[in-house]
Amino acid sequence: MGTKTDRIIDIAKRRGFFWQSSPIHGAIAGFYDYAHLGCALKKKWENEWRGFFLSLNDNFHEIQPAQIMPEEVFKASGHLDSFIDPTVKCKKCGNVERADHVISDAIEGEFEGISLEKMSELIKKHNIRCKCGGEFAEVGILNMMFPLEIGTGKMKRMGYLSPETAQGAYVNFKPEFEALRRRLPMGLAVIGKAFRNEISPRNVLIRQREFTQAELQIFFDPDTINEHPCFDEVAGYMLRLYPSRNRKTGGIEEMSCNDTVKSLRLPKFYVYHMAKIQQFYLEHLGLPKKRFRLKELTDEERAFYNKYHWDIELDLDSLGGFREMAGIHYRTDHDLKGHEKVSGQNMSVNIDGKTFVPHVLELSFGVDRNLYALLELAYTEEKERTVLKFPRRVSPYDAGIFPLVKKDGLPELARDVQRLLKENGFVVFYDETGSIGRRYRRIDEIGVALGITVDYESKKNRDVTIRDRDSMAQVRVKMDKLVEVIRRFLMGEDLNRLGTPLK
Ligand code: GAP
C-alpha cells in the first residue's frame, strides 16, 4: 500500500503517533500534533538525549527559557537581517515557493546556500516553471520568523516566536554563569519549540513551521579549543565523515578522531563532540552504522553564525537518501557579542585574571526529524506481521502486560506485575482483550519492546513469560527478578541470557 512514507503516515494516524494539527478546521501545512504514542516516543527520545548529553560534563544543565522573545534578541542574534529564505513567485497564479527547492525538484544537485542571482539564472536556463505552468519572477527573500505584538497601548512591544531554542540560552548566559559559580565550560541545554514560517513545509515531520529542538550550548574559553580533557578516550574512535571535498563522489571516509584533528584541521574540542554525537546515534541508540554520516557544510551552506559546521545525517529510504537530523556548530562569540552590542550589557567573564567573551559550541538536534527517522528505520514488514523495531531504550512503551485469560485470578496477578513495573519507573500498559497472538501483533505494530504474559503456571511458580518484540524469542522469568531482567534487556542484553528460554 503506497510508499514507505504513506505506510508510516498510515500507522501514525491509525495507532496514534501523530497527525496534522486542527484538521476539523482545515489543517495548515507544517503543523502536527503528537498523539499518545508519539508523545510517549518523544518523551523517551528526549530523556535519552538529556541523559546522554547532560552527563558529558558536571557543569551542563537544562533550562527552560520563554519562547516569545523581544525584537532586540533577534537584532542581536542577526536573525532579523539574515534568517531569510530565497523565494520565487509565479507570475501567473501568484504561488510562492522556496527557490532552492523548486530548482532541486527540477534538476540534480544541491542548491541550498547559492546566491539569489545564481538561482534566478538556473530557473531561466532550465525553464523551470510553476506547477500551473506559469513563469517565475526573479528570486527574492523572505524572513522566516513569526512576528507578534506583545501587550497593548504604550506598553506594546514587538516580539517574535523564537526560531531556535539557542537564543534562550544566550540571554541566560550571564545570570547562569554567576549562579553556577563562574566556571567554564558551562553547558545550557534547552528542549523546546522553534517556530519558522517555512515557505514550503514538506515531508511530514521533517520540515514543519512549529517543531521541537534539543540544543546544548557549550560556553568555553576560546584559548582551550585545541584541547578536551577526555579527548584521549575518543582519539582512536572512527568517525564516519563526509567531507565537502567528497561531494562529487559521495564517498564516506572512516577516520579516527586523531586523524580528523590532523588532516581536517578541526579543533579537538569540536572533534570530541562529533564523536559523542556519533556514539549517541550508533552505540547508545544502536542505529545502523551505514545509515549515519557527519557531513561538512561548504562556506555557502554554513549558517550565517557558524565558523565550523558539520551536520548529522541519516540515510532514509522514504526521503531518497541522507537527510539532516542535527548539526554541530562552532558559533564563536557571534551571539554573545551581538547581545552585548544591542543590550549594552557586558558579556565578558573574568577567570583567573583573564577577561574574555566566551565562545559557543552548539549541539543542535531537531527532535521531530529524529522521531520520523526512528519510525522509518524501525518500520519492518515480515511475513506475518508489521513491526516497529525501535531501539529498545526509546520504544514508546517498555512492556505490555497480558493475563492469558480474563478469569481465575490471572488479571489480578497481571495487575500486580503492572503495578510493580510502574513503581520501578517502566512505561507499561495492561491489555486483556483478544487472543494472546492478536495482543502480540498489536504491540508489535506500535513498537512495544516486550510482551509479558501471566498464565496458570505464574500462579503456581510466581513466574511470567517475556517475549522480545524483535526476535519473538520467549523466556520464563521469576517475578522477583523481573525488574532487573527488564532493565538489563532495555540496556541491550540478549533476552535468552536473562531467563529460561521457551522452545
Ligand atoms: N540553533 C541552531 C539551529 O537552529 P538549524 O540547522 O536551523 O540550526 C537545527 O536547526 C535542527 O533543527 C536541524 O538540524 C533540524 O533537525 C531541525 N530543523 C530545522 N528546521 C526544521 C523544520 N522546519 N522542521 C523540523 N525540524 C527542523
Q: In this predicted model, what pLDDT tens digit does every residue of 16-64 receive, in sequence order?
A: 999 999 999 999 999 999 999 999 999 999 999 999 999 999 999 999 9
User: Which pLDDT band holds residue 110 (cuts at 50, 70, 90)?
Assistant: confident
CA distance 479 to 453: 11
Tens digit of each residue's pLDDT (9 = 90 or more) over 159-209: 999 999 999 999 999 999 999 999 999 999 999 999 999 988 889 999 999
Cα separation values, 371 from 4, 234, 399, 458, 500, Å: 15, 27, 20, 37, 34
CB 311: neighbour CB atoms within 10 A? 20
Q: What is the DSSP string of 75-128?
A: HHHSHHHH-EEEEEEBTTT--EEEHHHHHHHHSSS--TT--HHHHHHHHHHTT-
The pLDDT, as a whole number, for residue 247 is 92
Taking alpha carbons only, the member of 263, 265, 322, 255 closest to residue 295 is 322
Residue 318 in grid coordinates: 522514504
Distance 131 CA to ligand 1 centre (A): 27
The residue nearest atom 18 of ligand 1, judged by CA position, is: 366
User: pLDDT digit string (tens) for 290-300?
Assistant: 999 999 999 88
Residue 35: predicted pLDDT: 97
Q: Give every CB contact of residue 49 below 8 A, 6+ residues apart in sequence.
A: 191, 214, 280, 365, 367
Q: What angle do CA 400, 430, 502 make, to 5 degrees?
A: 45
Q: What percent of the chain has pLDDT over 70?
A: 100
Q: Which of 332, 362, 364, 371 to mutate to test the pocket of ligand 1 (most atoms within 8 A of CB)?
A: 364
Q: How many CA atoms lie within 13 A of 348 on its CB side?
A: 7
Question: Span 425-443, mean pLDDT?
Answer: 96
DSSP 357-383: PPEEEEEEEEHHHHHHHHHHHHEEE-S
Q: How far is the CA of 250 from the centre of ligand 1 (A)?
A: 23
* Cα distance between residue 306 and residue 360, in whole Å: 10
Alpha carbon distance 358, 223 (integer Å): 10
pLDDT tens by residue, 306-330: 899 999 999 999 999 999 999 999 9
Distance from the alpha carbon of residue 307 to the mean position of ligand 1, in angstroms: 17
In this prediction, residues 338-365 reach a mean pLDDT of 97
For CA atoms 54, 58, 64, 67, the dihedral sign is negative
- Over the stretch 264-290, which tens digit does the pLDDT of each residue have? 999 999 999 999 999 999 999 999 999
Asked whether the beta carbons of 123 and 136 are under 8 A apart, the reply is yes
Q: What is the C-alpha separation between 299 and 306, in angstroms, rounded?
A: 9
70 pLDDT band, cuts 50/70/90, is: very high
Q: Work out which ligand 1 atom sits closest to the CA atom of 201.
A: 23
Q: Which of 56-65, 74-83, 102-111, 333-342 has the lowest mean pLDDT?
A: 102-111
Kindly report the average pLDDT of the chain as a whole number.
96
pLDDT at 213: 98
What whole-number distance in Å separates Cα of residue 419 and Cα of residue 188? 36
Give the residue whose CA is nearest to atom 20 of ligand 1: 207
10 Å CB burial of residue 84 (0-12, 13-18, 19+) is middle
Owner of C-alpha cell 534547552: 190
Are 251 and 243 a contacting pair, CB within 8 Å?
no
**Has residue 503 got a pLDDT over 80?**
no
Can you tell me which atom of ligand 1 is nearest the CA of 166? Answer: 1
For 43-47, 102-106, 371-375, which range has the lowest pLDDT when averaged over its residues?
Answer: 102-106
Q: Is the dihedral of CA 110, 112, 115, 121 positive or negative?
A: positive
The letter for the amino acid at 478 is K
C-alpha cell at 245: 571535498
Ligand 1: residue whose CA is nearest its atom 25: 207
Q: What is the predicted pLDDT for the residue at 349?
A: 98
Long-range contacts of 56-60 (CB under 8 A, 24+ apart): 56/187, 56/276, 57/185, 57/187, 57/218, 59/180, 59/183, 59/184, 59/185, 59/186, 59/187, 60/186, 60/187, 60/188, 60/189, 60/216, 60/218
> What's the one-letter identity of residue 307?
K
Nearest residue (by CA) to ligand 1, atom 16, is: 366
Whole-angstrom distance, CA of residue 363 vs CA of residue 395 = 24
Check residue 1 and give its pLDDT.
Answer: 61
Between CA 261 and CA 273 the distance in angstroms is 12
Q: What per-residue confidence (pLDDT) applies to 200?
A: 85
pLDDT value of position 300 = 85
Element holding 157 (H helix, E strand) = strand 157-161
In this prediction the pTM is 0.94
Please report the pLDDT score of residue 95 as a whole number: 92
pLDDT of res. 112: 76
Average pLDDT score over residue span 75-100: 93
Crossing angle of helices 36-54 and 367-378, rounded to 10°: 110
The residue to which cell 509565479 is assigned: 90
pLDDT in tens, 121-169: 999 999 999 999 999 999 999 999 999 999 999 999 999 999 999 999 9
Binding site membership of 198 for ligand 1 (Cβ less than 6 Å): yes
H or E element in which residue 188 lies:
strand 186-195
pLDDT in tens, 471-492: 999 999 999 999 999 999 999 9
Atom of ligand 1 nearest to the CA of 206: 25
Secondary-structure percent of the chain, ordered helix, strand, coil, rounded to 5? 40, 30, 35
Please state, in angstroms and rounded to a whole number, the distance separating the CA atoms of residues 456 and 463. 10
* Average pLDDT over every residue of 432-461: 97
Q: DSSP string of 274-336?
A: HHHHHHIIIIIS---GGGEEEEEPPTTTS-TT-SEEEEEEEEEGGGTEEEEEEEEEEEETHHH
- What is the 458 CA–ligand 1 centroid distance (Å)? 50
Distance CA 59, CA 37 (A): 33
Rounded Cα distance between 412 and 78, Å, is: 61
Integer CA distances (angstroms), 262 to 146, 220, 225, 234, 266, in order: 43, 22, 14, 14, 7
Cα 481 to ligand 1 centroid, rounded to whole Å: 43
Say if ligand 1 is within 6 A of residue 163 CB: no
Count of positions (residues) in the chain: 503
Q: What is the pLDDT of residue 109?
A: 80
Residue 163 CA, closest ligand 1 atom number: 4
